Amino acid sequence: MATQQTRSLARFMMAPSVVLLFVWMIVPLAFTLWFSFQQYNIRDGFVGFSNYALFYSNPAFLQSILNTLAIVGSVLFITVVGGILLALLLDQPIWGQGIVRILVISPFFVMPPVAALVWKNMIMHPQYGVFADIARFFGGQPIDWFGQYPLTAIIIIVAWQWLPFATLILLTSLQSLDSEQKEAAEMDGAGFVSRFIYLTLPHMSRAITVVILIQTIFLLSVYAEILVTTNGGPGYASTNLPFLVYQKALLEFKIGQASAGGILAVILANIVAFFAMRAVGKNLDK
């Protein structure tokens, strides 16, 4: 049916998107790769892998990798488990379901700097925060979240931002579960737990995979939340890989090292992307 003419028209229509994205992906990345083998500041020249060696032997590097993994892992755990529980709860018949949904989904629309500053100042502040008020009410000692547990504090903030996303996706998936199937299982005498394990969970598995993959992509590059709360500190206690690269590049102007770190971030993201693409790609064939 497609004639030669429509086919070339199709190519023509596709060209701007493809060209733009191609340039946007290739040009800066080529620069980064080039810089990662260069001595940028003092004298320009090829320095082999010494930028990589310098970046990777920096003690902050190992710390930043561990922090990155801690953020991704903890937030995924909290949001997926919490999201499943919340989705199950919101799937029940309740009064005011529409409003409840709106309240639950809201944090996702809060821009990262606002989310981080609100939590930092109004909720977790050791003197004036709500947590401190609660601690004092029960006669306890307020916790200095960002001084003592900076990474935990950031994980809480990021989890708060992403829990709504997980809940919404999982709830959507839950609601597409055939109610006749549910009823049949119920009639056969399956209890809540076995219904959940043998019927609901397998049905949601695809949505859970999607939530994990998409969140991982965003969680690998958490930035603004760290910038406005701890600025990576104390020391490197809350520095993740993107933040370390940013510090090297724009604060210390160690371009070679920053680029070497950037290349590592690309490799990390690609490992995740590989699995993400397979999951999304499967859906295309349907």
Choose between 148 and 186: whose C-beta lies nearer to other proteins. 186
The least CB distance from residue 179 to other proteins, in Å, is: 8
Choose between 30 and 197: whose C-beta lies nearer to other proteins. 30
Give φ, ψ of 207 to 5 degrees. Answer: -65, -40
The least CB distance from residue 169 to other proteins, in Å, is: 5
- Cβ count within 10 A of residue 253: 11
Q: Are 151 and 161 in contact (CB under 8 A)?
A: no
Helix 97-105 and helix 150-175, axial crossing angle in degrees, nearest 10? 140
Q: Are 207 and 221 in contact (CB under 8 A)?
A: no
The least CB distance from residue 97 to other proteins, in Å, is: 8
Closest CA to 225 of 123, 137, 154: 154
Choose between 91 and 237: whose C-beta lies nearer to other proteins. 91
The least CB distance from residue 59 to other proteins, in Å, is: 20
Choose between 83 and 151: whose C-beta lies nearer to other proteins. 83
Choose between 68 and 74: whose C-beta lies nearer to other proteins. 68
Q: Are 273 and 203 in contact (CB under 8 A)?
A: no
The least CB distance from residue 57 to other proteins, in Å, is: 20
How far apart, in Å, are the Cα atoms of 144 and each of 71, 127, 134? 19, 9, 14
